[in-house]
Amino acid sequence: MDAPFTLDDLVAIVRERGRSGDPGSYTAKLIAKGPARVAKKFGEEAVETVIAAVEGDAAALTSEAADMLYHFAVLLEVRGVALDAVMAELAGRTGRTGLEEKASRPPE
Ligand SMILES: N=c1c2ncn([C@@H]3O[C@H](COP(=O)(O)OP(=O)(O)OP(=O)(O)O)[C@@H](O)[C@H]3O)c2ncn1[C@@H]1O[C@H](COP(=O)(O)O)[C@@H](O)[C@H]1O
């Protein structure tokens, strides 16, 4: 069975496509428009995600969340922020709640 697709995989694809210069790449074209344009797209996808969540439409929420995560990956790429830095920031917050013990425990 194939390994599950991860956010790291998505970030790697976005990095490669964004730097490819391929005129057929949506990622490369969006990045060429600059950080403000990428941020606007991310904001639009975030709002569409919120609307799907409020409406309680699980299929739409799944699709909009995927669009939002893709544009989030493009936003990190265009601003040169590593996903690892975001995850390290989150990991640093787990100590505040004691959840890190639960997270490191093997599944029951
Ligand atoms: N996950 C995605 C992904 N999700 C959404 N999108 C694109 O995001 C765009 C957003 O659609 P909208 O209707 O909101 O916007 P639009 O009117 O098409 O474009 P805008 O002028 O508003 O920017 C669509 O063109 C989608 O195809 C994505 N484009 C690419 N990927 C991933 O990136 C990879 C590389 O894609 P390319 O860069 O195109 O090679 C793909 O194989 C996928 O894995």
Neighbouring residues of 82: CB distance < 8 A, sequence distance ≥ 6: 76
Is the pLDDT at 98 greater than 60? The verdict is: no
Cβ atoms of 19 and 80 within 8 Å: the answer is: no
Name the closest-CA residue to atom 41, ligand 1.
13
For residue 1, the model assigns a pLDDT of 65
Of ligand 1's listed atoms, the one at least distance from the Cα of 18 is 38
Does the pLDDT value for residue 87 go beyond 80? yes
In the chain, what percentage of residues exceed pLDDT 70? Answer: 87
pLDDT averaged over the chain? 92
Query: What is the pTM for the complete model shown?
Result: 0.88
How far, in Å, from the CA of 67 to the mean position of ligand 1? 8
Instruction: Answer for the pair 64, 52: CB distance below 8 angstroms, yes or no.
Output: yes
Q: Does residue 100 carry a pLDDT above 60?
A: no
**Phi, psi (deg, nearest 5) at residue 4:** -65, 145
Q: Residue 102 has what pLDDT?
A: 60
Contact call for residues 27 and 71 (beta carbons, < 8 A): no
The pLDDT of residue 2: 85
Residue 35 makes CB contacts below 8 A (sequence gap 6+) with: 75, 78, 79
